[in-house]
Amino acid sequence: MNDGGASLDLNTMTPSQFEEHLPELFATHNGRISDDPAFSSFLNHHPDCAALVRDLEYIAEAARSLLEPAQAEPSDAVWNSIQGKLKIAAAGDEP
């Protein structure tokens, strides 16, 4: 199915059927099924499915954050702080 779940009948769908469709739903909804109002009634009536969606969305968001590039260089304030601490440490080593 490539229609983002539009052909799914959420009024008659069982929780197990919903779980079967979760991989494609996550793929077509960019990992945010709960943002789609079409699913709100179903998730309100099936709290176990809602909890599963919340957990999977949390995991997907955490995974995305791991893939985001980190800041390449520390800020000038960090370098200045390191430099200051090194100077203090070096001054303490002198006789």
Give pLDDT, residue 39: 93
User: Taking Cα atoms as reference points, which of 92, 38, 21, 30 lies closest to residue 61?
Assistant: 30
pTM of the model as a whole: 0.62
Mean pLDDT, range 32-52, rounded to an integer: 93
Please tell me the predicted confidence (pLDDT) of residue 70.
64
What's the pLDDT score for residue 43? 95
Percentage of the residues of the chain whose pLDDT score is greater than 90: 36
First to last CA, the chain: 76
Here the tokens at position 38 are 């079409």
- In single-letter form, the type of residue at position 79 comes to W
